[in-house]
A and B are shown apart, each in its own frame.
Chain A
Amino acid sequence: MATFNAVIGSLFGLAVLPFRAMNPWLAMIVISVLTGLLMLAVFRWTSNQEGIHRAKEAIKAHLLELRLYKDSMAQQMRSQGRILAANGRYILHALRPMLVMIVPVMLILIQLNLWFGSRPLAPGETAILKVKLAAGRSPLASDISVDAPAGIIVETLPLRIEEEREIDWRLRAAAPGVYDLTLKAGSDSFTKSVRVGGSLLAPISNVRPGPSFLDQVFNPGEKPLPRALAVESVEVDHPERRLPLLGLRLHWLIAYFALSIVFGFALKGVFKVEI
């Protein structure tokens, strides 16, 4: 999974590379266009285009019936039923491309979250470092400690929460940079990345996952922790990033869906795709 994540991450990084120093909206627009095209292509080649066309035409025809035969209750009911049936056929025809797309779209969303979900800590800001231990391990019996590089200050003693199998520290960002915190557990050690400051658009990993497959899928920003460590995850919650638009601060997911739908519909005629 780690290799797969690395490959996908590199591809995504490549797509974003020319826009990293620019307004994040640019990268978002480019990705939305590219994924809009990808979705159109998948839709074009995996759906029954003729079937979709017929279903849409049938819906239109029955809608017309509704307007023409307003005085006939029986006809109205029949037309309503046929619209429903045509809708059902339309959804069935769209199901296959949706099933085909669900995995790539999920991967795209996970990558987008890595790039647009969080922003670096600003100097002076605080964040919590959370180490979640594997099942059956007690934080009270753990000897995990943190070594912070210059640029990051560990402000508190460890807070050990038995019921959550968790050990927390408060970090304060002191100077811009990309840092690795080193966590030591006996003779073992592992790291967690923290990003402070900087204007470049960059992937920000909040969670370094443990060996669980699903955790690795959803947290592709860092290599998984070795199973021998008995650590389920290490987390530093960077602040949420929002995309500014006319005084609003949009969540990336809203921006992405709005843009990809707009581009999808704008380009469907060009590529002759029936949606």
Chain B
Amino acid sequence: MNRRDFIKAGAGAATLLALGPRADAVMRTAGRKATPRKVLILGFDGMDPKMTARWMSEGKLPAFKRLAAQGGFSPLGTSIPPQSPVAWSNFIAGTNPGGHGIFDFIHRDPKTYFPTFSASATEGSTKTIRLGNIVFPIKSGSVRNLRQGKAFWQVLEEHDVPATVFKIPANYPPVDSRQRTFSGMGTPDIVGTYGTLNYYTTESKLVNEDIGGATVHQVYVIGNRVDAKLPGPINSFKPDRPAAEIDFKIYLDPSNAVARISIQGQDFLLREKEWSGWKRVSFPLIPTQSVGGICMFYLKEIHPEVKLYVSPINVDPARPALPVSTPTSYGEDLEKKFGPFFTKGLPADTSALENDILNEEEFLQQDGFVLEESRTMLDYELGRFEAGLLFYYISSTDQRQHMFWRLFDEKHPAYDPALAKAFGGTIESTYRQADEILDRALGRIDKDTIVLVMSDHGFNPYYRSFNLNTWLRANGYLKLQNEFKEEDLDWAFAGTNWMKTRAYGVGLNGLYINEKGRESEGIVTTGPDKDNLVREIARKLEEFRDPKTGEKVLARAYVAKDVYTGAYVSSAPDIILGFNRGYRISFKSPLGRVPKDILEDNKAKWSGDHMGAAEIMPGIVLANRPVAAERPALYDVTATIMDVFDIEKPKEMIGSSLFKKGEPG
């Protein structure tokens, strides 16, 4: 199995889901019961307390400053590790990862050592019948949200407090609820991946498979026309499960910079460097079944080379092939109001920028659509926010820091002075845009509404990449079948000798002991042997220094049972890496590769990150009421919600209110 198979495995049964009954088809939104208080929470992914404080003090974030003066501003303790799905799950469930079971973007199957998505699992139909060349599902497939514990809006629902939760990460598929919720980060495209773009070009072009998310199609111009195919989801009705495809044509003018794209009866003209807006497509599976989606076309170049970008195909909110909202009518209603909109978890196409398919300006144009759409929909939700809680999520703050840190920080190995001149201010301008959003929101709420602004983690530069599995090999904990091989770039530990391997790394921060009885080929005995090994590796990791800079690579190597509590601690990695400032796991190590060097310069455009130790990576919290908590953490915000609505905190929730007892309002 290769990397592409892994990605497809994430939601490979998408086509089957489209055919299953919609359990909530008749479900309606929970009642909009009046509440004595309202709570508005704006979640800006990745907003960093240091940068926020700096730009607040320089007067560049006046709304943030105003809010801080009204109530308070504080760093917000993040999760271990500070990855978005983990951190937002801390907030959703009001607990630490031991209580909700999401420890990383990527977990592993101990029976196969195979990396798996942590947040959701998709299963195809288990019962099928084959008639001729068609396989019919007898039972539809399913997709499950793997986050454990009750979400705060489910608790609110039990107490008749209405809530709208828009695009909160780690809520795909949205958990059962009659509250209005729309899934966020973790929502796949209709192919079943976290986003696979299609790029059609007459020039030869390779993509970085480690970054992935892109399919390049070599095309040819014959008679000023290009014939191409748009690949869609796997067609589970066919025995060999090919990808469904749509034929389309690009007609080029011989000299003018204009082209017509003809796809499924839709014709549209694009000039060079122009976006199409959303287009609906429908992938036929069998004569009576199809899967619909929405995508955008961008005509990057017509002459001399043809370059056409097609965005990942998002789930169509009007006819969702996958569950993206509760009730289903919520997404459909939004579509009726606004037309098609981004539904893929993280809509900005970082893969396109990383692979030089979109340049910085084009990436920002696309993310500008995302931000504009977010602003418009927030205005709409604020307009009908009459009771309970409204949570609203903005992704651009995170995505742009990931991609533009290199142009903001001269020390970064990928710093480019020419690009920095044009785009060095992107992060600051994004914070200013966040400020504008906050300002508009503050202008729309009444004085009794409690406003909380939060982020899940902060941001750091990503200068150097750490190959954990290479370090484990160098220290004798991981062995390859061929000991003389310099490196093993096969995927998913293909060349690993498990009979001699004591520890391995999977995911962005996870290290696992090859434990007897847990891993299929485990060799380390549970008990003191394992405990001693964990402590030994953690100590060595914390001592390890970068030979190039002399700095520690890890600020902390957390032992899971020291830092997690709750019912799911046993599923956690044994050690969680907390990187030092400037360091992050490489792109190769998380999926089980063992490259040659332990450390490498990061010359990728993905140049800012947040895989550091929780202590150096806090997020932010601001409120329009005094924040009494001294060192608030994500799960304290959840406890605050319970406090404001006078709801007794469920016993699984571990936080405490940010506000002084008895003074939430």
Establish whether residues B258 and A156, one from each chain, have CB atoms under 8 Å apart when the complex forms: yes
Establish whether residues B256 and A161, one from each chain, have CB atoms under 8 Å apart when the complex forms: no
A159 to B223, CA, bound (A): 14
Establish whether residues A159 and B253, one from each chain, have CB atoms under 8 Å apart when the complex forms: yes
Whether A148 sits at the interface, judged by CB under 8 Å, is no
Mark contacts of A160-174 with chain B using CB atoms, 8 A cut-off: 1 yes-contact digit, 0 otherwise: 111110001110000
Whether A158 sits at the interface, judged by CB under 8 Å, is yes
Whether B224 sits at the interface, judged by CB under 8 Å, is yes
9-residue interface stretch from B134-142, B266-274, B515-523, B592-600 = B266-274
Which of A126, A128, A158, A164 sits near B256, CB closer than 8 Å?
A: A158
A170 to B260, CA, bound (A): 10
Establish whether residues B256 and A157, one from each chain, have CB atoms under 8 Å apart when the complex forms: yes
What are 27 A-B interface contacts by the 8 Å CB criterion?
A128-B267, A140-B254, A155-B269, A156-B256, A156-B258, A156-B271, A157-B271, A159-B252, A159-B253, A159-B256, A159-B259, A159-B269, A160-B254, A160-B256, A161-B224, A161-B251, A161-B260, A162-B223, A162-B224, A163-B223, A163-B224, A163-B225, A164-B251, A168-B260, A169-B269, A170-B258, A237-B267
Establish whether residues B269 and A168, one from each chain, have CB atoms under 8 Å apart when the complex forms: yes
In the assembled complex, the CB of A194 is this many whole angstroms from the nearest CB of chain B, namely 16
A118 to B425, CA, bound (A): 47
Residues of B within 8 A of A159 (CB): 251-253, 256, 258-260, 269
A170 to B256, CA, bound (A): 13
Closest to B332 in A: A247
Closest to B251 in A: A161
Whether B286 sits at the interface, judged by CB under 8 Å, is no
Interface residue ranges of A233-261 to B (CB < 8 Å): 237
Whether B257 sits at the interface, judged by CB under 8 Å, is yes
Which of A126, A160, A164 sits near B253, CB closer than 8 Å?
A: A160
Interface residue ranges of B196-239 to A (CB < 8 Å): 223-225
A128 to B260, CA, bound (A): 10
Residues of A within 8 A of B254 (CB): 140, 160
Interface residue ranges of B411-464 to A (CB < 8 Å): none
Residues of A within 8 A of B251 (CB): 159, 161, 164
Residues of A within 8 A of B253 (CB): 157-161
A197 to B401, CA, bound (A): 43
Residues of B within 8 A of A237 (CB): 267
In the assembled complex, the CB of B227 is this many whole angstroms from the nearest CB of chain A, namely 12
A157 to B255, CA, bound (A): 10
Residues of B within 8 A of A155 (CB): 269, 271
A159 to B302, CA, bound (A): 12
A140 to B223, CA, bound (A): 13
Residues of A within 8 A of B271 (CB): 155-157
In the assembled complex, the CB of A146 is this many whole angstroms from the nearest CB of chain B, namely 13
Which of B252, B257, B260, B267 sits near A157, CB closer than 8 Å?
A: B257
Residues of A within 8 A of B258 (CB): 156-159, 170
Residues of B within 8 A of A140 (CB): 254
A243 to B93, CA, bound (A): 45
Residues of B within 8 A of A163 (CB): 223-225
A212 to B256, CA, bound (A): 31
In the assembled complex, the CB of A219 is this many whole angstroms from the nearest CB of chain B, namely 18
Residues of B within 8 A of A161 (CB): 224-225, 251, 253, 260
A155 to B270, CA, bound (A): 10
A162 to B252, CA, bound (A): 10
**Most interface-central of A158, A160, A161, A164 (chain B CB within 10 A):** A161
Interface residue ranges of A154-211 to B (CB < 8 Å): 155-164, 168-170
A126 to B269, CA, bound (A): 10
Residues of B within 8 A of A170 (CB): 258, 268-269
A225 to B407, CA, bound (A): 59
Interface contacts beyond A128-B267, A157-B256, A159-B269: sample of 14 additional A-B pairs, CB < 8 Å, sorted by A: A128-B268, A140-B254, A155-B271, A156-B256, A156-B258, A157-B257, A158-B256, A159-B256, A159-B260, A160-B253, A160-B254, A160-B256, A168-B267, A170-B269
In the assembled complex, the CB of B277 is this many whole angstroms from the nearest CB of chain A, namely 9
Closest to A160 in B: B253
In the assembled complex, the CB of A159 is this many whole angstroms from the nearest CB of chain B, namely 5
In the assembled complex, the CB of B254 is this many whole angstroms from the nearest CB of chain A, namely 7
In the assembled complex, the CB of B255 is this many whole angstroms from the nearest CB of chain A, namely 9
Residues of A within 8 A of B224 (CB): 161-163
A234 to B487, CA, bound (A): 65
A263 to B544, CA, bound (A): 86
Closest to A170 in B: B269
A155 to B260, CA, bound (A): 13
A121 to B75, CA, bound (A): 51
A158 to B257, CA, bound (A): 9
In the assembled complex, the CB of B459 is this many whole angstroms from the nearest CB of chain A, namely 38
A128 to B269, CA, bound (A): 7
Closest to A158 in B: B256
Residues of A within 8 A of B257 (CB): 157
A251 to B418, CA, bound (A): 55
**Most interface-central of A128, A156, A157 (chain B CB within 10 A):** A156
A162 to B255, CA, bound (A): 13
A267 to B258, CA, bound (A): 56
In the assembled complex, the CB of A217 is this many whole angstroms from the nearest CB of chain B, namely 23
**Most interface-central of B252, B254, B260 (chain A CB within 10 A):** B260
Mark contacts of B484-501 with chain A using CB atoms, 8 A cut-off: 1 yes-contact digit, 0 otherwise: 000000000000000000
Mark contacts of A59-82 with chain B using CB atoms, 8 A cut-off: 1 yes-contact digit, 0 otherwise: 000000000000000000000000
Residues of A within 8 A of B252 (CB): 159
Residues of B within 8 A of A168 (CB): 260, 267, 269
In the assembled complex, the CB of A113 is this many whole angstroms from the nearest CB of chain B, namely 17
**Most interface-central of A128, A155, A170 (chain B CB within 10 A):** A170
Residues of B within 8 A of A158 (CB): 253, 256, 258
Instruction: Rank and list the top 8 A-B pairs by shortest CB-CB distance, nearest first.
Output: A157-B256, A170-B269, A159-B253, A156-B258, A159-B258, A161-B251, A157-B258, A156-B269
Residues of A within 8 A of B260 (CB): 128, 159, 161, 168
Residues of B within 8 A of A162 (CB): 223-224
